[in-house]
Amino acid sequence: MNIASPAFRDMQAYDLQSVIALGETIYQFASTKHLTKQKELLFREFLRWSEQKKAECVVLEDPDSFQILGYFLLILCPECIDSFWKVPDSQRDTTAYLAQIVIHKELQDLGIGSNMLAEIENRALSHGKTRLRLEVASHNPAYQWYLKRDFTVLGSQHFMEKSLEAS
């Protein structure tokens, strides 16, 4: 796999099969046809939000092989974020929500996720968002990964937030 110059680009409907398959290699739940269909419907909803500028759905691609190395789903619209976490009135304009960030298993621990997070933060800031929020289970290794990257745990142990104002 050549990862010399991966590029970010908007996720398209034709990526969904690859993106869902990539997610399934990471989250090793027994995958059924029904579950995969549910995921596809969810991703299609994200793509609709993206078309409406309510979210950014982005893949990281190797431009030589067109292989997808990772992806992220960043939600910008408070009403959409509400379906994951109710945004307080005072934070509705300033909060972005990272619904998913995934790096191909064989490419983890190479700094790609850190670059992707920097891209996410820049995109959130470019939309005027000064706080990035997410949900991550404390048994997920990503929990420590976020803590090292200036996220702090909110009241509930599953939610974290990072201020982007000093970035």
| Residue number, 52 or 144, with CB nearest to ligand COA | 144
Answer yes or no whether residue 25 interacts with ligand COA by CB under 6 A.
no
- Which of 55, 57, 113, 124 binds ligand COA (CB under 6 A)? It is 113
- Which of 22, 47, 57, 136 binds ligand COA (CB under 6 A)? It is 136
Answer yes or no whether residue 59 interacts with ligand COA by CB under 6 A.
no
Stretch that binds ligand COA, among 2-10, 47-55, 75-83, 109-117 (CB under 6 A): 109-117
Answer yes or no whether residue 63 interacts with ligand COA by CB under 6 A.
no
| Residue number, 117 or 164, with CB nearest to ligand COA | 117
The phi and psi torsions of 10 (rounded to 5 degrees) equal -65, 135
Answer yes or no whether residue 3 interacts with ligand COA by CB under 6 A.
no
CA–CA gap between residue 15 and residue 74 (Å, rounded): 17
- Conformational region of residue 53, where left means phi above 0, alpha means psi within -120 to 50, and beta covers everything else: left
- Which of 123, 145, 150, 159 binds ligand COA (CB under 6 A)? It is 145
Answer yes or no whether residue 26 interacts with ligand COA by CB under 6 A.
yes
- Which of 41, 66, 109, 138 binds ligand COA (CB under 6 A)? It is 109
Answer yes or no whether residue 73 interacts with ligand COA by CB under 6 A.
no
Answer yes or no whether residue 84 interacts with ligand COA by CB under 6 A.
no
Rounded to whole angstroms, what are the CA distances from 58 to 35, 54, 74, 87, 120? 22, 13, 8, 23, 9
Binding site for ligand COA (CB under 6 A): 26, 101-103, 108-114, 134, 136, 140, 142, 145, 148
